C-alpha cells in the first residue's frame, strides 16, 4: 500500500514473552490504535531483557538515531526488579545519563503514601529516567513511562500500557487512517489467486491480502483490500467481485 503517513515500529521487551510464559497483546492493541490515527506500523520486534540487544534494536528502529522508522514504541522492562533494564538501555542508546526524576518521584511517592505503601529503593527504580526525557503519564498506577527522541517507552503490564498509549496519542504526528473492505468466499486460496493477483496489479497503491479458513470441513478464503482512498478500495473490491464472479 502506497502511503505518505508517518511510520512506526514496536519493540516488545521481555524474557517472559520469548519463553511463552506470557501471551503478548500490547503490540496487537497498539497496531489497531496506530492504524486508526494514520500511522503506518512497519515492524514489530521482540527482544529479551538484555541491555545490549535493546540498545541495538532502538538504534536500528528510531529514525532520530539513524534507524528506519519515524517513531518507536517500546513495551516492557521499566519495573522495579533487576531484570528491568529498558530505561538504562534507552539512556545508553541515546548517549545520556540516567537518574531519579524528581517529578516522577513526587507523583509516585504521593500515590504510595496515600495508600500507605512504603517508599523503597526498589520502587524508586521506576523513577529512574534518562536525562532529557519527558514523562508519559500513568493514570493506572502512577509509575510513568517516558519519551526521548522519537522513542516512547511504556510499561509491559497491559492495563498500564493502554493508559500510557492514551496519554501519548494527542501528541503524535498523524496521517490518514486506512480504509478496508473484506469479503469471504468458500473457495481455497488457489482458486482465487489469479483474480486477486490481477486486481493487485491493476491497483498497485492498495494492499490486497488473502487469509484461508476452514468452516464445517470446507475451505474458504477471506479477501481483504486496504488503502488510504475509500473510492479506490471500493473500485478494487468491485473489480475483484467481477473477476471472481462473486
Residuewise pLDDT in 10s, the chain (246 residues): 889 999 999 999 999 999 999 999 999 999 999 999 999 999 999 999 999 999 999 999 999 999 999 999 999 999 999 989 999 999 999 999 999 999 999 999 999 888 888 888 888 999 999 999 999 999 998 999 999 999 999 999 999 999 999 999 999 999 999 999 999 999 999 999 999 999 999 999 999 999 999 999 999 999 999 999 999 999 999 999 999 998
Place of cell 473492505: 181
pLDDT at 118: 86
* Spatial separation of the C-alpha atoms in residues 11 and 65, rounded to whole Å: 15
pLDDT at 207: 96
The H helix count followed by the E strand count for the chain is: 9, 11
Cα separations in angstroms, 101 against 121, 125, 131, 151, 159: 14, 10, 8, 18, 23
In terms of DSSP bridges, do strands 145-148 and 179-185 run parallel, antiparallel, or are they unpaired?
A: unpaired
Taken in order of first residue, the domains within the chain and their CATH numbers are 7-171 (3.40.980.10), 179-244 (3.30.70.600)
What's the full length of the chain, in residues? 246
pLDDT at 246: 85
Query: Which neighbouring-strand residues pair with 67?
Result: none
225 Ramachandran zone, left/alpha/beta (phi>0; psi -120 to 50): beta
- Signed CA dihedral, 157, 17, 52, 29: sign only: negative
pLDDT at 1: 81
pLDDT at 117: 83
Rg of the Cα atoms in the chain: 22
Phi, psi of 179, deg, nearest 5: -115, 140
Phi, psi of 178, deg, nearest 5: -75, 155
Give the chain's largest Cα–Cα span: 69
Amino acid at each position: 500500500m502506497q502511503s505518505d503517513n508517518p511510520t512506526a515500529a514496536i519493540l516488545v521487551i521481555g524474557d517472559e514473552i520469548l519463553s511463552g510464559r506470557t501471551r503478548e497483546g500490547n503490540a496487537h492493541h497498539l497496531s489497531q490504535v496506530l492504524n486508526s490515527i494514520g500511522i503506518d506500523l512497519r515492524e514489530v520486534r521482540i527482544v529479551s531483557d538484555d541491555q545490549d540487544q535493546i540498545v541495538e534494536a532502538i538504534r536500528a528502529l528510531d529514525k532520530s538515531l539513524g534507524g528506519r522508522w519515524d517513531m518507536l514504541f517500546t513495551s516492557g522492562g521499566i519495573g522495579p526488579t533487576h531484570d528491568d533494564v529498558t530505561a538504562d538501555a534507552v539512556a545508553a542508546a541515546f548517549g545520556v545519563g540516567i537518574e531519579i526524576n524528581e517529578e516522577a518521584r513526587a507523583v509516585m511517592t504521593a500515590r504510595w503514601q496515600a495508600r500507605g505503601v512504603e517508599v523503597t529503593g526498589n520502587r524508586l527504580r521506576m523513577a529512574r529516567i534518562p536525562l532529557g526525557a519527558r514523562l508519559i503519564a500513568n493514570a493506572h498506577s502512577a509509575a510513568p513511562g517516558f519519551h526521548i527522541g522519537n522513542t516512547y517507552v511504556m510499561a509491559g503490564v497491559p492495563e498500564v500500557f493502554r493508559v500510557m498509549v492514551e496519554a501519548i496519542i494527542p501528541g503524535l504526528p498523524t496521517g490518514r487512517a486506512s480504509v478496508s473492505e473484506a469479503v469471504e468466499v468458500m473457495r481455497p486460496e488457489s482458486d482465487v489467486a489469479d483474480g486477486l493477483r490481477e486486481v493487485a496489479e491493476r491497483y498497485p497503491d492498495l494492499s490486497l491480502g488473502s487469509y484461508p479458513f476452514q468452516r464445517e470441513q470446507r475451505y474458504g478464503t477471506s479477501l481483504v483490500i486496504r488503502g488510504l482512498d475509500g473510492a479506490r478500495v471500493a473500485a478494487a473490491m468491485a473489480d475483484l467481485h467481477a473477476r471472481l464472479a462473486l
